[in-house]
Chain A
Amino acid sequence: MTEKYEHIDESTLDGMRTLVTEEAVEGKTVLLNMGPQHPSTHGVLRLLLELDGEFVVNCIPDIGFLHTGVEKNMEAKTYTKAEVMTDRLDYLNTVGNNLVYCLAVEKLVDLDVPPRAQAIRVILTELQRIASHLVWLGTHALDLAAMSVFLYCFREREMILDILEMCGGQRMMTTYFRPGGLWRDVPVEFEDAVRHFIKIFPARIKEYEDLLTNNPLFIERTKHIGVLKPEDAIRWGVTGPPLRASGVKHDLRKVRPYSGYEQYDFEVATHTDGDTYARYLVRIEEMRQSLRIVEQALNKLPYGPVKSNNRKFVPPPRSEIGTSMEALIHHFKLWTEGFPAPKGSVYVAVESPRGELGVYLEGDGGPKPYRVHWRTPSFVNLQVLPLLAKGHLVADLIALIGTIDIVLGDVDR
């Protein structure tokens, strides 16, 4: 039954015998190792390709090169300290990872979040979505030999990272969202910086579109490549832009709103073709919609506190510690012992730039999470790569790895 798979040594042909077809063993097809250091695999993804000439017969992804044991590490830290691990999962969507973790902790301990904190969370998550899509667009175009797009995309991404740095003090690993709200309020320059970005960005999207949307070379490389049927997408659990590009109108921000998304007016970008070009169009449209959300959230950004007032979970402000004994005790307890969470488990999912990012969090009554599991979109979406790649050229495989938009930190955790 399963014993034969236990000790497969994939480094030898003998070990791979159970993975590839008979033709490969007989030498009729060629086995080619792609990665883990191949530049177009967006990290350290290894693909074992079985080729018939230039055509892909089978493609076997081999992951785990970036496995860092995030889940195990989080079990050894308190709920607050474990949050810094979440940034390191999907390093292009750091505040999104913080968001889902904070939402899970808040659900587990039943903690409220003030409206201002929720609105700022939405603004930053949507800006991060744009930044993530920009990295995707730049590298995807670079893989298809359109170099200049990459430079333009990173120009705008830098502006977003500057805004994150302004808020959290770090460009990428901000850990700015905390259970119960935010670390601190946004600085005064925040609004002007975001408004400036909202003003200039629509024209910049047009620049990218001028370079790619009607570019015959780009269309040649992406149209009818890797068509994913909607029923396959659902069966394989694919989420995010690949699902929407296949014609399934599903966005967790719309169907199961969190963090106040129900207040904002936006469209869910969809397409019916399900090919690489459709996924490109969906992501471009998503950037526009994210910008709309940012603008609305900024326009009605409420005033008020950015942290919950529940001192059993959220540390008191510095100013109180000098005058209030109780505040000092809370501060001391929260930073040494942490806060206890009840026995029970929650599953919370949000719409990350790559798809459904879920976290399963289980508490055991103590101050440390008993079990944290990350349902990462890259991990699940990568599973359809063999399905998409079959029958395509090796060169198209490069386009397909790009179009799924994997982040290996997210795949391997």
Chain B
Amino acid sequence: MSELVDKVVEALRSRFQAEVSTFRDETTLWLKAQQIVDACQFLRDDFQFDMLEDETAVDYWPQETPRFHVVYQLYSYPHNERISLRVPLDGNAPSIPSIVSIFPNANWHEREIWDLFGIRFENHPDLRRILMPHDWEGHPLRKDYPLGYEEVMFTFNFDEIDGRKPYAKRYPEG
């Protein structure tokens, strides 16, 4: 870890009680959902982490608490350092504050996460589906969403296959 990352870790630890983990020289700070906006603003203003490189989510179904992790990669142009933030979310109606007010390019990243994972972003200016059609039901990147295949249906086994066929629409929201 470089000096700057050490300082960032220390600051976030004392200010937000963040937990720290390191894997393959990448430092990850674990935060709570309600802290993410303050933490991003703090990192941007005090440590010049001025670019949101990436924002994504991971689903740990069938584990429910926490079921999702939202992962942020922040990059600092002046210091050439990268830091990763991770926010665990519970499975039932997950939601997290949006960071569009701090990094405007989070807009599409958060729309994508809403679209594919069904994680709601509070105070997002335009939370619509982005990749899937607007009338799609279900969130495809969730682990309980089937990858999709077609079993051949004949008259004699139609009802049987239809009963267990993983139609996207059989999986309710939430």
Q: Which of B26, B54, B103, B128 contacts A235 (CB 8 A)?
A: B103
Q: Does A325 contact B (CB under 8 A)?
A: no
Is B51 on the interface with A (CB-CB < 8 A)?
Answer: yes
Residue from the list A19, A237, A347 in contact with B105, Cβ < 8 A: A237
Query: Does B162 count as interface, using CB distance less than 8 angstroms?
Result: no
Residues of A within 8 A of B127 (CB): 2, 5-6
- Interface flags for B114-148 (1: CB within 8 Å of A; 0: not) read 00100011111011111111110000110000010
Choose the segment among B8-16, B34-42, B77-85, B153-161 that binds chain A (4+ C-beta atoms closer than 8 Å). B77-85
**C-beta contact mask, A286-330 vs B, less than 8 Å → 1, else 0?**
000000000000000000000000000000000000000000000
Q: Which of B24, B58, B108, B129 contacts A346 (CB 8 A)?
A: B24
Pairwise interchain contact B24-A107, C-beta atoms closer than 8 A: yes
* B35-62 to A contact mask, C-beta < 8 Å, 1/0: 0000000000000001111101011000
What's the minimum C-beta distance from B17 to chain A, rounded to whole angstroms? 22
**B54 adjacent to A373 (CB under 8 Å):** yes
Given the interface pairs A347-B73, A371-B58, A373-B56, the reply to whether A5 lies near B104 with Cβ below 8 Å is no
**Contact yes or no, B131 A67, CB < 8 A:** yes
Determine whether A250 belongs to the interface, using a CB cutoff of 8 Å to chain B.
Answer: yes
Query: What are the 8 tightest A-B residue pairs by CB atom distance, in nearest-first order?
Result: A237-B105, A64-B131, A375-B54, A373-B56, A344-B23, A67-B131, A2-B127, A371-B58
Q: Give min CB distance, B48 to chain A, whole Å.
A: 10
Instruction: Bits for A114-147, please: 1 = Cβ < 8 Å to B, else 0.
Output: 0000000000000000000000000000000000
The verdict on A412 contacting chain B, using a C-beta distance below 8 Å, is yes
Contacts A1-B123, A71-B141 given; does A356 touch B104 at CB 8 Å = no
Pull 6 A–B residue pairs with CB atoms less than 8 Å apart, ordered by A: A2-B127, A72-B140, A234-B50, A237-B105, A344-B24, A371-B58
Note all chain B residues with C-beta closer than 8 A to A256.
80
Chain A residues positioned under 8 Å from B58 (CB to CB): 345, 362, 370-371
Instruction: Kindly supply a per-residue 1/0 record for chain A positions 166-189, scoring 1 wherever the CB is within 8 Å of any chain B CB and 0 otherwise.
Output: 000000000000000000000000
Asked, given contacts A234-B51, A360-B73, A362-B58, whether A383 binds B107 with beta carbons under 8 Å apart, the answer is yes
A255 touches B124 (CB 8 A): no
Q: Specify which chain A residues have a CB less than 8 angstroms from the CB of B104 in the assembled complex.
A: 235-236, 383
Q: Size class of A's contact patch?
A: 35 or more
Nearest Cβ distance between residue A374 and chain B, in whole angstroms? 9
A64 and B50 within 8 A (CB):
no
B20 within 8 A of A: no
Q: Which chain B residue shows the least CB distance to A343? A: B23
Q: Does B33 contact A (CB under 8 A)?
A: no
**Chain B minimum-CB-distance residue to A19:** B126
Count of B interface residues, CB-CB < 8 Å: 42
**Cα separation A6 to B139 with both chains bound (whole Å):** 13
Contact B120 A2 (CB under 8 A): yes
A237 pairs with B73, CB closer than 8 A: no
Question: Which residues of B pack against A, CB within 8 Å?
Answer: 23-24, 26, 28, 50-54, 56, 58-59, 71, 73, 77, 80, 82, 84, 103-105, 107-108, 116, 120-124, 126-135, 140-141, 147
Given contacts A1-B122, A2-B127, A375-B53, 19 further A-B contacts (CB under 8 A): A6-B128, A10-B134, A63-B130, A71-B141, A72-B141, A237-B51, A237-B53, A237-B103, A346-B24, A347-B53, A347-B54, A347-B82, A358-B54, A360-B71, A360-B73, A370-B58, A373-B56, A380-B108, A383-B107
Shortest Cβ gap from B69 to chain A (Å): 9
A113 within 8 A of B: no
Bound-complex Cα distance A47 to B7 (A): 44
Tell me the complex Cα distance, A7–B140, Å.
Answer: 17
Interface centre among A2, A67, A71, A248, by most chain B C-beta atoms within 10 angstroms, is A2
CA distance A75 to B50 in the complex (A): 31
Docked complex Cα distance between A107 and B26 (Å): 11
Q: Which one of A2, A255, A345, A370 contacts B121 once the chains associate, using CB atoms below 8 Å? A: A2
A6 and B136 CA atoms in complex are apart in Å by: 11
Q: Does A360 contact B105, Cβ atoms closer than 8 Å?
A: no
The residue on A at minimum CB distance from B81 is A256
- Let me know if A339 is at the binding interface, CB within 8 A: no
Q: How far is the CB of A182 from chain B (nearest CB, A)?
A: 23
Contact B126 A5 (CB under 8 A): yes
Chain A stretch 3-61: residues in CB contact (< 8 A) with chain B = 5-10, 19
With A1-B122, A9-B134 as given contacts, are A248 and B105 in contact (CB-CB < 8 Å)? no
B141 A64 Cβ-Cβ under 8 A: no
Instruction: Considering the complex, give the chain A residue whose CB is closest to the CB of B142.
Output: A72
Q: Is the CB of B56 within 8 A of A9?
A: no
Which residues of chain B are within 8 angstroms of A373 by Cβ–Cβ distance? 54, 56
Q: Which residues of B contact A379 (CB under 8 A)?
A: 108
